[in-house]
Amino acid sequence: MFVSERVVALFCYATTRVVPRENFLNRLWIHLSSRNGARGFLFGQGRIIVTELLFHTDAYLKEFDAQVVAAEGERVALDRTALYARSGGQPSDFGILVGNGVTFRVVDSKKQGDEVWHHLDNAGLQVGDTVRGVVDWERRYKLMRTHTALHILCGVIFRDYGASVTGGAMEPLAARMDFEFDRMSAEFAHEVEGRINAEVAAAREVRAKILPRAEAFEIPDLIRTKINLLPPGIEHVRVVEIVGLDLQADGGTHVANTREVGTIRVVGHESKGKINKRLRIEIGD
């Protein structure tokens, strides 16, 4: 079954003061799916699911209510979620979804287009089910501290040494970041460690906001990676600022102040190529 995109657009335009367009599409899909016993429907040339990313506006949100808008065996897509979907080097959140009196463990999450799919330990949820989501806060907060630590590292390296990022990855309280350097030494790593911990002690505020693409790209040095990884079709860009130190495009979760990060130790350095050098860090209390 196909629904005219023009009809949907006109209806949404008429009701924009009542419900956002993406929420209407999700609700319409749920209604049609439940009536026809189908997994989902097509709007135009593709399915329309828009998952509201609650973690983009509130990284400290631990619980949320949502509705299942698509289900495929042991994975589901929700209309809204506070569970981070792995991307940009940050791993997925873990947590649980409680629906129909059953608790399902969320073991992975992945973003596909505008959809976030949560992979569960068992099947059982269906389109239209309401669920209560709970984030594994211990893991999430460790990842928030780690991600902000990487931004501190990136900000110091860019400010003091003018080097771009060439890669990175993280796990809770441990991470690596690669930079466009031709040389690196133990003395340099020690120097960097002192400088990044000074930024932690400075208790700098960390802010996140979403800007129209054109406005975001007016910010000098918005992209800190050697290659611009932002897809050209993205109309809005989320930027994360460590006030007085760093401002860059980013979709991950962060603490509200650098003092929450804790002590950062540079535990290793290595060469990954002629002009590609790696620093490894660990986060302590």
Give residue 129's pLDDT.
97
Mean pLDDT over the full length of the chain: 84
Asked whether the predicted pLDDT for residue 1 surpasses 90, the reply is no
Asked whether the predicted pLDDT for residue 140 surpasses 50, the reply is yes
Burial of 185 by CB count in 10 Å (0-12 exposed, 13-18 middle, 19+ buried)? Answer: exposed
Q: Mean pLDDT across the stretch 71-95? A: 96
In the 3-class helix/strand/coil scheme, how is the chain assigned residue by residue?
A: CEECHHHHHHHHHHCCCCCCHHHHHHHHHHHHHHHHCCCCCEECCECCCCCEEHHHHCCCCCEEEEEEEEEECCEEEECEECCCCEECCECCCCEEEEECCEEEEEEEEEEECCEEEEEECCCCCCCCCEEEEEECHHHHHHHHHHHHHHHHHHHHHHHHHCCCEEEEEEECCEEEEEECCCCCCHHHHHHHHHHHHHHHHCCCEEEEEEEEHHHHCCCCCCCCECCCCCCCCCCEEEEEEECCCEEEECCCCCCCEHHHCCEEEEEEEEEEECCEEEEEEEEEC
Q: What is the pLDDT confidence band of residue 9, given thresholds at 50, 70 and 90? A: very low
- pLDDT tens digits for range 226-239: 555 566 667 888 99
Give residue 80's pLDDT.
97
- pLDDT tens digits for range 272-281: 988 899 999 9
Give residue 10's pLDDT.
31
Asked whether the predicted pLDDT for residue 12 surpasses 80, the reply is no
Which residues partner with 130 through β-bridges?
Answer: 67
- The Cα 24–Cα 189 span in angstroms is 52
* Domains identified in the chain and CATH numbers: 2-135 (2.40.30.130), 140-284 (3.30.980.10)
